[in-house]
Amino acid sequence: MTRVLHTADTHLGYRQYHSTERRADFLDAFRRVIEDATDDGVDAVVHAGDLFHDRRPGLSDLLGTRDVLETLSEADIPFLAVVGNHEAKRSAQWLDLFEAMGLATRLGEEPTVVGDTAFYGLDFVPRSRREDLEYGFAPHDADHAALVSHGRFEPLVPDYGNVEWDLEAVLESASVEFDAVLLGDEHAPTKQEVTGAWATYPGSTERASAGERDERGYNLVAFDGDVRISRRGIETRPFVFVDLDLAEGEGVERVHDRLREHDLERAVVHVSIEGDGEAVAPARIESFATDEGALVARVTDRREFEAADVDLDVSFGDPDAAVEERIGELGLSDAARELDGTIRAGSVADSNVAEEIERRVGELLGDPDAFESAPESDDATGDGSGAGAALDGGVADDPGTESADGVVDDAETTDDAGATDDAGATGGGGNAVEPETAGDDGDGDDTPLGPDADGKGQASMEEYL
């Protein structure tokens, strides 16, 4: 028998709500999963993609991941993984780095055999490139075979009308017959039998959006004649969800009363308001919640109110000036600035831009000084004439966790295939993340090295092009 822990969508490095504490929460959740794996003595940990939240994780995220994977390595438990859409780079992947360190195995077309089971990998592939895939895998001599992949595969995922991948077609085209498909990308746990194979998503290990209300956790998958899938929860930071339907005459005090019913200490609080009650100021409610001890508070008022008549004097700045200002802040080299000018000037036909850039790069490579970083612009703060509009006129408690030995459902019978459908209805689908304000992209450390990962103060040519 081979028994593995199946996890995915850890999104390490996600600075959700611009909060360093939330960033640490994602690493803590991953650490708990790995601790459970070592305590249980599983044969392997299988990660189905989106280990990191984006393709440029901060140094602290990389070091934290290394430390966690080292504990797994010390227990002689292999870490098998594929690349997800959030972390995918153009060439070498972060997973390759950990593989070179002896801490991970990147799955692919060749089988990686653990016990009596052969594991294969299929990294995330954009929809536009899937028609060219042949799903050819090398043969194996193991008793069982499992495919690990990242993407939104139908029929398991809710039909959002975006980037679904036909799992039935994949299995029918594959050169290997699979007993199980261990997936990532869908943040709500689910499982279903497809073309004779059990396919499952474990869900994310931390809440990456307000729609992910169910407990977080992972799967335990056993290969022993049949495939058995069970789910186990993990402890995460509490989220408090308060859904209000304000009656006529009710307002902010009613919201405060509802919040007082909950323990908000260090919790993430989400308040959703509907109904015919008075208009409320979200900032006032958020301040009340944080004063009561909440780590973060967010308010969504779904009602529509007629806007007051206010005369606004709106003027727009020069977008090109704003771009130049931002380029000055980046400290790009002369070479990078010249290439930027070529791209934006409009003097080169669109169809010839790539060829012209390639020609200029070849010329510039003969002048190393051209790649030296430029000093930051002295007027980086601007004079108020940016590209933005200038306006004159003013204006549930944590669901808890399952016990360590709690097994929710078993995949041996087809009757429970839809047992986790309710979890999928919470809106935790795909790789969705919290729709925060601009800039909450979670890429890089809190004290970034610079526009690129090498800390030299200039964007790499790969990132620039």
Summarised one tens digit per residue, pLDDT across range 444-458 is 444 333 333 333 333
Residue 11 labeled ligand binder: yes
Q: Per-residue pLDDT averaged across 138-162, rounded? A: 90
Residue 378 labeled ligand binder: no
> pLDDT digits over 310-340, tens only?
565 665 666 766 666 666 656 566 667 667 7
Is 460's pLDDT higher than 60? no
Is 265's pLDDT higher than 80? yes
Task: Quickly state the pLDDT bin for 90 (edges 50, 70, 90).
Answer: confident
Percent of the chain with pLDDT over 90: 61
* Pick from 355, 339, 326: nearest CA to 464: 339
For residues 245 and 225, give the distance between their C-alpha atoms in angstroms, rounded to a whole number.
52
For residues 299 and 243, give the distance between their C-alpha atoms in angstroms, rounded to a whole number.
10
Which is catalytic among the residues 53, 86, 262, 270? 86
Are 380 and 329 in contact by the 8 Å Cβ rule? The answer is yes
Residue 150 labeled ligand binder: yes
| Per-residue confidence (pLDDT) for residue 250, from 0 to 100 | 95
Average pLDDT, the chain: 80
Architecture category of domain 2-236+400-424 in CATH:
4-Layer Sandwich (3.60)
Q: If DSSP codes are grouped into helix, strand and coil, which group holds residue 414? A: helix
Contacts of 425 (CB under 8 A, 6+ apart): 158, 188
Q: Per-residue pLDDT averaged across 57-72, rounded? A: 97
| Per-residue confidence (pLDDT) for residue 407, from 0 to 100 | 39
Task: Quickly state the pLDDT bin for 175 (edges 50, 70, 90).
Answer: very high
Q: Per-residue pLDDT averaged across 422-446, rounded? A: 41
Block residue for tokens 């699979």: 178
Question: Between residues 64 and 388, which one has the greater pLDDT?
Answer: 64
Q: Is 86 a catalytic residue?
A: yes
Task: Quickly state the pLDDT bin for 131 (edges 50, 70, 90).
Answer: confident
Is 153's pLDDT higher than 90? yes
CA 424 to chain CA centroid, Å, is 17
Amino acid at 104: A
Is 393's pLDDT higher than 50? no
pTM of the model: 0.69
DSSP 60: H
Is 194's pLDDT higher than 90? yes
DSSP H helices, 75-200, are 94-100, 167-173
Q: Per-residue pLDDT averaged across 385-390, rounded? A: 36
- Structure-block tokens of residue 459: 């964007």
Task: Quickly state the pLDDT bin for 170 (edges 50, 70, 90).
Answer: very high
Are 277 and 251 in contact by the 8 Å Cβ rule? The answer is yes
Residue 187 labeled ligand binder: yes
Is 387's pLDDT higher than 60? no
Is 217's pLDDT higher than 70? yes
Cα end-to-end span (Å), the chain? 49
| Per-residue confidence (pLDDT) for residue 146, from 0 to 100 | 98
Is 289's pLDDT higher than 90? yes
